[in-house]
Structure 1
């Protein structure tokens, strides 16, 4: 159902209720608004406006007190039609730049950059932050290396766009020499470089079918047979970086044991967390672009464990691959601040990881 158009007076009062509730975590009454905000309205008029907002479902009365709190519908109207996002604070900007720049300067692994991004985003937002690396299956294969662990055991290291690395140990039913490994590595890099892992997995047999029979044939066949796992997606645990749990558990919304248990269950289910954030919600014909911010509030989140949360997410890009970063917190969050921090972090992350190439 579409939101009804509110009058200017109703918009002002709804915005004040939300902003005041974000700060105080306490129901907001008409007398408080009349005394603290210069609206030129009497206590009785504000009370009538709040009654209209409650009848329309934008605010509710949690107890018998006169105070009101925003509903999911009220928050949605606010983020869509009332809030105005300002430019990021210079101090916040410098903290993000400094943390990501140090990783890039030291030429550390991309996982270090993603973990640093999650930590600084959690500290600045004072909420739970989540960063998901791009899907490796859509990443461009750059090169492959093999290291001998024994004559029948090798470690394969895949380098994928922007220093994303995947390693896997292969157990062989044949013995191989260092010379045979070097032959196969050179051949695979010649034939497969520039393809996505999805493309390699589906076509590797055809791409290597005309290779000479004496070119370490046994090892080459083993690579083809193992392509399903070798060039497959990285496990969820290797793609997910989270930080900021200590901030969110101190929020008043989680002062009840059941709420804390629900939060712990949500954090432990890494598969659902990745699934929640990788749904772009914009439809197949409207893919996410840089700067797109998605805000899902309360029951708009499909997972029941996230019904008490707001999720603010946005994509970042490394070449043609896309990762996600997000802030999860109580619906009573500082939306303007979180949106500008998430948006700036995504841009910095895209730039930093792309510069690794």
Structure 2
């Protein structure tokens, strides 16, 4: 890192609160119904439950803006952890079956325990994340050369597609498709404010784990042999890293459904800007991820106003070309960070 790039981390830290505040402000301001800044300020500081505009802002737009920032941060950090510990530049929650496992378990929860509480949904989502990650990574380590980036991506896509198919088939058979469609299509406009409050403890544990493990992930990203030679307990680091991924991905899916490509694209962008030290990568990923998804959500409302474009379409516009670029540029080689 040389020249102005060495100042990127400091610039990001200083500008991040302003960028996040700007993103949230524009997200609240823009919607199907036009509102001026004065109405928003009054709703935030002098809320009147009898005014419909205030209800829209406090019950819909504000939770959506905050929830989107949090989801983007969680998915980006999850992707960074997965890419660092596996040295796989294609690793991300949506590609490796982690998100699909959550959707499957949420579907089963809706079938087996109709009318479940928000906490029950979160727990099932976390269990699903763990199952999805366990199946994909377990098979990858069992198959010959299964941990190579492209093979692992293919394996994750196959397992993820299978779990999604099972979830959709079960939802159709037990007639709960309408109830679980929210988690299939990632409807950010329906984020539940209560759910946001309930995921915070799980998310804090996941983020703290990620920050604590940041130095170890930096060493691990150099390769298992080097990490072991430096005295690192690679199995423990990977296990705790996957726990953080499961927590962060599970609460993200529980909050708004499956959203692809955030965990793939943002970590690469972050490493380009701040280097390969995960003590910088993890916090900057959280900032970039939140801002990135926040602006994708805003763009989804602009593209076909007054109708909303699905958020998955917007993230795919950025993610698919980048995914193809990574495969073309690096082929099946391990990530060298």
TM over 0.5: no
Larger radius of gyration: 1
Length-normalised TM-score, structure 1: 0.24
The structure in which a higher percent of residues are strand is 1
Length-normalised TM-score, structure 2: 0.25
Higher relative contact order (CA 8 A, sep 6+): 2
The structure in which a higher percent of residues are helix is 2
